[in-house]
Amino acid sequence: MGRSLLKVRALMRREAGVYFLSPMAYVFAALFLLLTGYFFSVMIMSSQYIEMRSILHNMVVIFLFVAPVLTMRLMAEERRMGTEELLMTAPLTAFQIVLGKFLAAVVFWVLLLAATAVYPIILQVFGNPEVIPILTGYLGVILAGSTFLALGLFASSLTDNQVIAGVVSFTMLLILWVIGLAGESAGGVTGQVLKNLSFIEHLQDFPKGIIDFSDVLFYLSAIAVFLFLTTRSLERRRWS
Amino acid sequence: MNKATGPETHTVTLKERLPGLLAGGGFTLAGISLILFFLLPRIPWAHRSAAAAAALALLAYAYLERAGLGSLARRRSTKHGINALVQTIAVIGIIVMINVLVAGASWRLDLTRGSKYSLSEQTTAVLANLDRDLKITYFSPGGNPGDQDIRDLLDEYARRSPRFRLEVIDPERSPSTAQAYKAKVPGSIMGSVFFESGERIFRVDPLELFQEGDSQDSINFAGEQGFTRAILEVAKDSDSMVYFLEGHMEQSLEGELAGLKSYLEGDGHSPRSLNLIQEGKIPGDARFLVMAGPQRDLDRLEREEIRRYALERGGRLVVMLDPGTEALPELDALLGELGLTAHQDVLADPERSYFFDLFSLVPRYDWHDITQSLIDKNLPSLLPQARSLAGLDTPPAGITVEGLLETSESSWGETNFTESKASKGPDDLPGPLYVAYAVSYKEGDQADSKVRPVAVVVGTSSFIAGEFVTFPGNADLFLNSIRWLGGERELISIRPKARTMERLFLDPGSALRILFLTVIVIPGATLLSGTVIWLRRRNR
């Protein structure tokens, strides 16, 4: 177990390194921070309420657009460049490869969020915000974003074309995002099921300061499913 | 299974078939669980136990096939296809099952200051015992923390009861719905929450939900108090009957009190007229008996029946007496039983009156459960043509009276009804004088016997008649009296939650600096470091 963890860590480092050395990741990080920064400033200047709820929601919405870009190359590029062969012949299981790449993306996401910690600090300087809802809010945002990344990774494993991978993951994310709205209008049990599938629905409670175990489980399950599917997709190619 | 004693071949077959059976059974059970979930959503254990059985079967399958699942990674696969698909579905199926199982159990950690989202035991019990569907309609003004508080709290209610159907409506987007509600219940629509069950409707006024807190920027949110009370009012078994006595030239429900009637209905009550002479007794379902300004005296039997109702049968009275020249001995006797006496006067108050009309009092509120919200919200009441009341020096056993409304020092009780111009004379009663009292009664004389509200007595009925009921504090004064009498304050012992309305106070300079930092510096620095790294890599 220890050895395989080390392998995953090594791969994760390599992949994270790729992020931090690619200019594209910086461009998107800058865009993300620009948009969230703008929303934050406008919010505190107009409403003047000391809270992070709306801004945390905005972050996730913006990340919905960024996540496909961050993940689209993860699998597809290896395949296009032919480096997949190298990876495949390395003494790593398919799952270890998938996990390593996923964790690298999560590290990038968490560091990106760390840059937004400036906002609650600003609130702290000028007022007295309630700390715990901000922390639980960030937990929810990390979980939701990680789910986006797992989905993006899966989409990336389906094709060797980065752009297609990006479009596919964005479309899937969008559907899973708005499915709750469809649920709202459908009503009844069908509506309830659709709402429960929605990525946005499970995010509501975190920024309030509530941790609902079923929400945490939902995101972890969604991550597990997509990582599993990615592993399957990788295995299929490995031996076909 | 291995111990099966049948022929060798049979054992092998069963062993081989078991995983298939388990998988098939698992999926069938999952299907059944789904069907049960749709058909019997009210019986959660049905679909949950089916789901649990399905999960067990699939887990057992996964265990038996662990070799296959484990070797999956290593398997050279052409025959992979079907197997892989089944395994994939199985894994996803198990994960979905676990989620469905957990979704039912509410494992929530409320980490907010003062557990903002945790409902009291009382509310939880009320929601658990709901035996009818409730429709809740909230006309949301949108975009302020108060609105957010109300929505969050209603969401918590909805989460705990499948019978709680919540609809949040933007009145500007659906004006027809707003119009429909406007026709049903008096008062403003915007921000109101309507609780409905069958014919009953109850309006919760947003102003009732927010009270001033201890410090300047803090606000107490009494949403749970308001909503749970509304549920109790709407979902109770019997109507809350409010009988208005007639037969003594009182204000009538169909006439002068029509406005008040709809206020009462909006508060979950059913107002009816009662002619005691004809009926002979006060009906058993009478929760309240209102005497709205009788001009003629009661019959002796009526007085005795009312006394028994109030003091022996746990009834509650609202007595409103208008100034008059005629002596009404039976009514006076009834007041005496309540520890009060009404003076033969009409109150004049040069200091606290409405637009220089000496006789239109705007009295001071004494602190009491009834007046508290009026004091908090700074809502004045207007009492035109009122007489003064006083507590007896030696009230009957068990009776306590508390003054509610008081006139100013410079007021007086005018006793000369024929004088053309009112002025304070030697025969007049000197102010300050009381216009309204709350009466409590302690049944029995044991130390532990309970004190309960028994009557509210006001020296005028005109404040709820005709248009006066729409004066800012008037309807609330009456409704609060009814609520206090109904003991609803005790019923709802839910503490309001203090919430500080934190606001940022930014000077333009700081605002600009924040904008600069978040929109230019941070993204700029990110972009810059990206550029540096890119350049360094290129030049390497």
Residues B130-144: what's their mean pLDDT?
A: 84
Q: What is the mean pLDDT of residues B445-449?
A: 70
Cα B471 versus chain centre, distance: 23
Output the pLDDT for position B341.
Answer: 93
The C-alpha atoms of residue B140 and residue B148 are separated, in whole angstroms, by 9
Structure tokens, B332: 């006076």
Q: What is the pLDDT of residues B272-290, one digit of tens each?
A: 999 998 988 999 889 999 9
CB nearest B111 (choices: A36, A210, A229): A210
Nearest Cα to B335, choosing from B454, B192, B190? B454
Determine the topology of domain B121-229 in CATH: Glutaredoxin (3.40.30)
Interface subset of A 90-119, CB within 8 angstroms of B: 93-95, 115, 118-119
Cα three-residue angle A27-A33-A36, rounded to 5 degrees: 140
Which tokens hold the place of A117?
């910690």
Q: What is the DSSP letter of B385?
A: S
Of A30, A50, A118, the CB nearest to B527: A30
pLDDT above 60 (res B6): no
Residue in B111, B506, B519 closest to A136 by CB: B111
Nearest chain A alpha carbon to B518: A37
B73 vs A93: CB contact, 8 Å cut-off?
Answer: yes
Closest approach of chain B CAs to the CA of A100, in angstroms?
17
* Sign for the pseudo-dihedral over CA of B182, B187, B191, B197: negative
Mean pLDDT of B142-170: 83
**Whole-angstrom distance, CA of residue B344 vs CA of residue B322:** 10
Do residues B316 and B288 touch, judged by C-beta distance below 8 A?
yes
For the segment B307-319, the average pLDDT, to the nearest whole number, is 92
First to last CA, chain B: 68
Residue in the block written with tokens 């350049």: B535
Contacts of B517 (CB under 8 A, 6+ apart): A37, A118, A122
What pLDDT score does B387 carry? Answer: 93
Best of B518, B528, B534 to mutate (most A CBs within 10 Å, chain A): B518
Instruction: Report whether pLDDT(B8) > 70.
Output: no
User: Helix H segments across chain A?
Assistant: 2-21, 23-46, 53-81, 83-89, 94-115, 118-126, 131-157, 162-186, 188-197, 213-239
Contact B518 A38 (CB under 8 A): yes
Cα–Cα distance, A225 to A235 (Å, whole number): 15
Q: What is the 3-state secondary structure (H, E, C) of A163-211?
A: HHHHHHHHHHHHHHHHHHHHHHHHCHHHHHHHHHHCCCHHHCCHHHCEE
pLDDT score, position A96: 87
Q: Is the pLDDT of residue B533 over 90?
A: no
Question: A with B: how many residue pairs have Cβ under 8 Å apart?
Answer: 170
- Asked whether the predicted pLDDT for residue B520 surpasses 70, the reply is yes
Is residue B4 predicted with pLDDT exceeding 50?
A: no
Chain A contacts of B152, Cβ < 8 Å? 208
- The upper half-sphere exposure of residue A199, i.e. CA atoms within 13 Å in the direction of its Cβ, equals 25
Count of alpha carbons within 13 angstroms of residue B414, beta-carbon side: 20
Judged against a pLDDT cut of 50, whether residue B2 lies above it is answered with: no
How far is the C-alpha of B71 from the C-alpha of A169, rounded, in Å?
30
Domain with A218, as residue range(s), is 2-239
Query: What mean pLDDT is reported for chain B?
Result: 82
Instruction: Match domain B240-343+390-405+434-491 to its CATH number in 1.10.287, 3.40.50, 1.10.540, 3.30.200.
Output: 3.40.50
Q: Mean pLDDT score of chain A, rounded to an integer?
A: 84
Nearest CA in chain A to B36: A189
pLDDT of residue B391: 93
pLDDT at B372: 85
Which residue does chain B place closest to A231, by CA atoms?
B73
**What does R_g of chain A's alpha carbons equal in angstroms?**
19
Give the pLDDT of residue B216: 65
Residue B355 tokens, joined: 């637009």
Q: Supply the ipTM of this predicted assembly.
A: 0.84
Given a contact cutoff of 8 angstroms between Cβ atoms, the answer to whether B362 and B337 are in contact is no
Quick one: pLDDT at residue A31?
A: 92
pLDDT (0 to 100) of residue B502: 65
Give the nearest chain B residue to A211 (CA atoms): B109
Bridge partners, B403 (sequence order): B437
Q: How confident is the model at residue B41 (pLDDT cuts 50, 70, 90)?
A: low
Least confident of A169-178, B102-111, B191-200, B527-536: B102-111
* Record: contact A212-B102, CB cut-off 8 A: no
pLDDT score recorded for residue B127:
83
Instruction: Specify the pLDDT at position B490.
Output: 47
Please give the Cα distance from B442 to B497 (Å, whole number): 32
B39 vs A contacts (CB less than 8 Å): none
Q: Do A26 and B111 touch (CB under 8 A)?
A: no
CB B234 within 8 A of CB B243: no
Q: Is B274 helix (H, G, I), strand (E, B) or coil?
A: strand
What residues does B529 pair with on adjacent strands?
A: none
Q: What is the pLDDT of residues B480-489, one digit of tens each?
A: 899 889 875 5
Of B235-239, B417-421, B439-443, the poorest mean pLDDT is in B417-421
With beta carbons less than 8 A apart as the criterion, state whether B338 and B454 touch. Answer: yes
pLDDT of residue A32: 93
| Contact yes or no for A221 and B503 at CB 8 A | no
3-class secondary structure, B435: strand
Question: Could you tell me the pLDDT band of residue A175, with boundaries at 50, 70 and 90?
Answer: confident
Tally of domains within chain A: 1
- Nearest-5° angle of CA B106, CA B108, CA B112? 150
Chain B residues within an 8 Å CB radius of A210: 108-112, 117
Burial B275-288 (b: 16+ CB within 10 A, else e): ebeeeeebeeebbb
Identity of the residue in B84, B110, B504 whose CB atom sits nearest the CB atom of A232: B84
Distance from CA of A215 to the nearest CA of B (A): 8
Q: Which residues pair with B193 in a beta bridge?
A: B138, B204
> d(Cα B536, Cα B540) in Å, to the nearest integer?
6
Residue extents of the structural domains in chain B: 8-104, 121-229, 240-343+390-405+434-491, 504-540
The residue among A238, A239, A236, A223 whose CA lies nearest residue A71 is A223
Q: In this prediction, what percent of chain B has a pLDDT beyond 90?
A: 25
Strands B317-320 and B286-292: what pairing? parallel
pLDDT at B304 over 90: yes
Give the per-residue pLDDT at B131. 80
Q: In 3D, which of B103, B367, B248, B202 has the Cα closest to residue A218?
A: B103
CB atoms within 10 A of CB B411: 27
Distances (CA, A) of B442 to B226, B338, B482: 28, 12, 19
Tokens representing A90?
Answer: 């390395």
Contacts of B143 in chain A (CB under 8 A): 47
Cα–Cα distance between B356 and B241 in angstroms, integer? Answer: 39
Yes or no: say if A48 and B503 are a contact pair by the CB < 8 Å rule: yes
**Tens digits of residue pLDDT in A106-154:** 999 999 999 999 999 988 888 888 889 999 999 999 999 999 999 999 9
Q: Is residue B78 pLDDT above 50, yes or no? A: no
Of A94, A221, A239, the CB nearest to B76: A239
Give the per-residue pLDDT at A234. Answer: 83
The whole-number average pLDDT for the span B448-465 is 89
pLDDT at B11 over 60: no
Q: Are the Cβ atoms of A239 and B75 closer than 8 angstroms? A: yes
The rounded distance, in Å, linking the Cα atoms of B99 and B165 is 24
Q: Which residue of A has its CA nearest to B520?
A: A34
Instruction: Give the one of A26, A45, A93 whose C-beta lies nearest to B530's C-beta.
Output: A26
Whether the Cβ atoms of residue B424 and residue B441 lie closer than 8 Å to each other: no
The Cα B27–Cα B55 span in angstroms is: 9
Using a CB–CB cutoff of 8 Å, tell me whether A124 touches chain B: no
Length of chain A: 240
Q: Residue B363 — pLDDT band, cuts 50, 70, 90?
A: very high
Q: Does the distance separating the beta carbons of A45 and B505 come in below 8 Å?
A: no
Q: How far apart are CA B126 and CA B232, in angstroms?
A: 8
Q: Which of B72, B152, B527 sits opposite A27 (nearest CB)?
A: B527
pLDDT over 90 (residue B524): yes
In tens, the pLDDT along A25-46 reads 888 899 999 999 998 988 888 7
Task: Say whether A104 sits in a helix, a strand or coil.
Answer: helix
pLDDT (average), residues B439-464: 86
Type of residue numbered B44: P
Query: Which residues in chain B have Cβ-Cβ distances shorter than 8 Å to A132?
Result: 111-113
Q: Which pLDDT band holds residue A216 (cuts at 50, 70, 90)?
A: very high
For residue A26, give the nearest of B38, B143, B529 by CB distance.
Answer: B529
End-to-end CA distance of chain A: 28
Is the pLDDT assigned to residue B493 strictly greater than 80? no
B13 DSSP 8-state letter: H
Residue B485, C-beta contacts closer than 8 angstroms, at least 6 positions apart: B288, B316, B317, B318, B453, B454, B455, B456
